[in-house]
Amino acid sequence: MATEKIESKRDDLVDPISERPGFSKTTSRIAVFGHPIHAMSVAFPVALTFCTFGADGLYWWTGDIFWARAAVWAAGTGFLLGMAAGVSGTAELLLVSGIRARAPAWTHFIIAVTLLGILGINWGHRLYGYEEAVLPYGILLSGLSVLMVMFTGWHGGKLVFDYRLGTSKSN
């Protein structure tokens, strides 16, 4: 008897945000032949962030200047490609009403912008003396960047897999 009362109360609960106009409009508007540019472009800065951290670790371990030079290139390329991915992600956030209406999208945005700031600082720190920049601050910034990438990637994945944002609804 008590179970029936609980179930009937659950049926009465409605998410007030889901009643907003445009809430169900979540198909990507920044896309090439239906493939969202943001989802396609984030893989590169994510991989380069991990490469920067790996190159820092290998420089620390071996002392070979090649790894410090590789880290500055990975940091710079990761930052620049991250900015490009950020532009497409920001456009999606602002142009698609169903994405804009969800709080997790804004959380992902704020974490990603913070990450871009850290990536930019990491690259800028290395520009004028990449070998001296690795220890201790370069590797610390790289480690923090990796943690931030994991955090923002988790939130971005949640948007795609839980809310199906930026995907084709037919699948």
Quote the pLDDT of residue 9.
55
> Looking at the domain assignment, is residue 3 inside a domain?
no
Residues ≥6 apart with Cβ < 8 Å to 87:
none
Owning domain of residue 60: 30-161
Task: Specify the DSSP element, H or E, that contains 31.
Answer: strand 31-32
pLDDT along the chain (171 residues), means of 10: 55 65 74 88 97 97 96 97 96 88 91 97 95 94 97 91 72 47
Quote the pLDDT of residue 83.
98
> Looking at the domain assignment, is residue 14 inside a domain?
no
> Looking at the domain assignment, is residue 138 inside a domain?
yes
> Looking at the domain assignment, is residue 18 inside a domain?
no
> Looking at the domain assignment, is residue 34 inside a domain?
yes
Q: Are residues 36 and 85 in contact, defined by beta-carbon separation less than 8 angstroms?
A: no
Count of domains for the chain: 1
Residue listed under structure tokens 């009362």: 5
Residues ≥6 apart with Cβ < 8 Å to 67:
55, 56, 58, 59, 134
> Looking at the domain assignment, is residue 7 inside a domain?
no
Residues ≥6 apart with Cβ < 8 Å to 97:
20, 21, 22, 23, 25
> Looking at the domain assignment, is residue 135 inside a domain?
yes
Quote the pLDDT of residue 171.
47
> Looking at the domain assignment, is residue 23 inside a domain?
no
Q: Are residues 92 and 38 in contact, defined by beta-carbon separation less than 8 angstroms?
A: yes
Quote the pLDDT of residue 168.
59
